[in-house]
Amino acid sequence: MKYAVSMLMALCLLLVSYSGSYSSDKKSSGTVAEPDEFPVPKNVPGLLFYIQRDPNTNTICYQLNLDQQGRLSEKNPVNMFWIRYPEGGGRKELNYLQRKFAYGINSKATGNASYELRSVAYSKMPLYLRRDSKNEYHVYASIDKKECILTRVFIRIDGGTFWSPNVLYIELKGTETATGKTIIQRIKPS
């Protein structure tokens, strides 16, 4: 459990390190939107998973990195970018610092067109990019001690500062490979 909390705190720092606006687009009534009320990225070819967090709906998308012929890049199999929902839903590339120190992914080929993925901000949590029985790529993670296809990471923040946010919980969401059920795990930092 201590490992999970450490991992999640590092992920929190990763997620709130975005160097853009720190303005809120929470509901005007003062209530906080639930994770499932945030926009879901649509029309993103090869979308693997995405990250969302307070205080706004800006979303980091992770997608397959394919060349012009539709082949997966062996050197860099995952591409990441922002969807800036508060600014009309436009796409924006991550800057150098975001790629190298916050939201980037390091990959290592493990054979058979599979990869181990590690966050540049927190390398202790392995994710695995591999094909399923239909030859489609997914990112696999352990969610609530079950092997799942990772779909979303959400960080609930309530105040604090840019560098030291008050993290209420981190939610991992995915589809269990054995049953097809949606698995959600909320982890509260201690």
In tens digits, what is the pLDDT along the chain, a chain of 190 residues?
444 434 444 444 444 443 333 334 444 445 678 888 999 999 999 999 999 988 889 999 999 999 889 899 999 999 999 999 999 999 999 999 889 887 899 999 999 999 999 988 667 779 999 999 999 999 999 999 999 999 999 988 888 876 577 878 889 999 999 999 999 999 887 6
Q: What is the pLDDT of residue 146?
A: 96
Q: Show the DSSP H helices in the chain as ranges.
A: 2-15, 96-97
Q: Which helix (H) or strand (E) holds 157?
A: strand 146-160
Query: Domains of the chain: which residue ranges?
Result: 2-17+47-187
Cα gap 74→32, rounded to integer Å:
41
Buried b (16+ CB within 10 A) or exposed e, 135-169: eebbbbbbbeebebbbbbbbbbbeeeeeeebebeb
